[in-house]
Amino acid sequence: MSLLAEEAGTLEAAGVRIEGIVGDLAARIDGPVPRELQELDLMVQTVRDLAAFFETLSGTVPDVGIDLAPALATLKLQRLREGLSGTGSPDSGLDEESILF
């Protein structure tokens, strides 16, 4: 559970950064704030709450062995698989060189 909380926290931090950039760009637009910006804010807040929820659960759920292999096999992102399995390094997040479009 703590690895899940950590992944959610990493995602929330990325969302906050993206939200700031998008907000700066939106400030340059004349007119009302697009509704999608409110949805982005809601998404970031939801991920933040999920991180707190998972972190709290990690302190209350007994430590039992679980076979994560079937669930991990469903994940397409290697970094996420490694993070949730505990095999990723703390600095294995996105960097400018790993972002491809």
Burial class of residue 8 (count of CB atoms within 10 Å of its CB; 0-12, 13-18, 19+): buried
CA separation for the pair 26, 72 (Å, rounded): 37
Phi-psi region of 17 (alpha: psi -120 to 50; beta: other; left: phi over 0): alpha
Tens digit of pLDDT at every position of the chain (101 positions): 888 889 999 999 999 999 899 888 888 888 777 788 888 889 999 999 999 999 999 888 877 788 889 999 999 999 999 998 888 765 555 555 555 54
For the whole model, what pTM was predicted? 0.71
Distance, CA of 58 to CA of 43 (rounded, Å): 22
CB atoms within 10 A of CB 10: 19
